[in-house]
């Protein structure tokens, strides 16, 4: 299924600030309260995003190994991400975003 421009915007908002992504997708329902609670408990960005971080996130969504390569270089994380992307596209995206946010 092809992504529309609105889908891409929702994904980017969900990565940067998860409750906003939930609000854009579901509206003002109980999922929004859950997203806000989980965000407060575990996802509080402490570093500002730079332009290169945003580019890496975009690459991680469309081509996960490229996002990992730009963040970590050619090491075992890249090999793991290639394997996860081959096994399933979504696990590759999740791993790439994890690597980008961790480092």
Report pLDDT for 68. Answer: 93
Is residue 32 domain-shared with residue 71, that is, in the same domain?
Answer: no
Question: Per-10-residue mean pLDDT for the chain, 103 residues long?
Answer: 73 75 77 75 58 83 92 91 91 88 79
Coil/strand/helix, residue 25: helix
Residue-range definition of the domain harbouring residue 80: 51-102
Is residue 63 domain-shared with residue 26, that is, in the same domain?
Answer: no
Is residue 31 domain-shared with residue 57, that is, in the same domain?
Answer: no
Domains: count for the chain: 2
C-alpha 76/C-alpha 27 separation (Å) is 40
Ramachandran area for residue 38 (φ above 0: left; ψ -120 to 50: alpha; else beta): alpha
Report pLDDT for 7. Answer: 77
Report pLDDT for 83. Answer: 94
Is residue 87 domain-shared with residue 60, that is, in the same domain?
Answer: yes
Is residue 55 domain-shared with residue 97, that is, in the same domain?
Answer: yes
Is residue 59 domain-shared with residue 98, that is, in the same domain?
Answer: yes
Evaluate whether 97 touches 57 at the Cβ level (below 8 Å). Answer: yes
- Of 66, 64, 19, 63, residue with least CA distance to 45: 19
Is residue 60 domain-shared with residue 83, that is, in the same domain?
Answer: yes
Evaluate whether 35 touches 16 at the Cβ level (below 8 Å). Answer: no
């Amino acid at each position: 299924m092809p992504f529309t421009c609105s889908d891409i915007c929702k994904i980017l908002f969900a990565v940067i600030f998860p409750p906003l992504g939930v609000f854009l997708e579901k509206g003002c329902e109980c999922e929004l309260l859950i997203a806000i609670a989980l965000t407060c408990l575990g996802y509080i960005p402490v570093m500002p995003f730079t332009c290169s971080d945003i580019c890496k996130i975009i690459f991680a969504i469309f081509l996960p190994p490229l996002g990992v390569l730009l963040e970590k270089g050619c090491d075992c994380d890249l090999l793991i991400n290639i394997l996860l992307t081959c096994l399933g596209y979504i696990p590759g995206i999740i791993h790439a975003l994890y690597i980008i946010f961790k480092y």
